[in-house]
C-alpha cells in the first residue's frame, strides 16, 4: 500500500468537520533513521483535552499497529484508512443518537 499523508489528513479533517468540539494531532512516534516510521494520531475533545481515540500505524505501509477508541468495541482494522473510516462512522452515529 502506497500511503499518502495527504489522504490521511483529508480523512482526519472529514472526521471532525461535523463536530467543532473535537480535533486531531498527528506526529511521529518512532523513526529508526533508515526505513521505519511509526505515526501516532490522536483525536481529542478540544474543551477538556480528553483523548477520544489513539491510533498507531506504519507510515510506509499504513498497517495499523494499535487502536484505542472510547466506547468503540469493534475488531481492529487492518490499516489506518479503514480505521479512520470506521471511527468516522462511529462518531457520526454518536452525533445522531
pLDDT digits (tens, 9 = 90+) for 9-50: 999 999 888 788 999 999 988 887 777 889 999 999 999 999
In the chain, domain spans: 5-96
State the Cα–Cα distance between residues 40 and 11, nearest whole angstrom: 15
What's the confidence (pLDDT) of residue 2?
56
What's the confidence (pLDDT) of residue 97?
46
pTM for this one? Answer: 0.84
Q: How far is CA 27 from CA 57, 91, 96, in A?
A: 11, 22, 30
What's the confidence (pLDDT) of residue 94?
72
Cβ neighbour number for residue 12 with a 10 Å cutoff? 21
Q: How far is CA 6 from CA 2, 13, 38, in A?
A: 12, 10, 16
pLDDT digits (tens, 9 = 90+) for 72-81: 888 889 999 9
Q: For the chain, first and last CA: distance in Å?
A: 35
pLDDT at 1 over 80: no
Give me the mean pLDDT over the 42-70 stretch: 93
Amino acid at each position: 500500500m502506497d500511503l499518502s499523508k495527504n489522504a490521511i489528513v483529508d480523512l482526519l479533517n472529514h472526521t471532525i468537520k461535523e463536530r467543532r468540539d473535537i480535533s486531531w494531532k498527528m506526529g511521529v512516534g518512532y523513526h529508526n533513521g533508515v526505513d521505519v516510521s511509526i505515526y501516532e494520531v490522536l483525536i481529542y475533545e478540544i474543551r477538556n483535552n480528553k483523548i477520544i481515540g489513539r491510533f498507531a500505524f506504519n507510515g510506509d505501509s499504513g498497517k495499523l499497529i494499535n487502536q484505542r477508541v472510547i466506547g468503540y468495541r469493534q475488531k481492529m482494522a487492518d490499516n489506518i484508512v479503514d480505521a479512520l473510516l470506521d471511527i468516522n462512522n462511529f462518531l457520526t452515529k454518536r452525533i445522531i443518537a
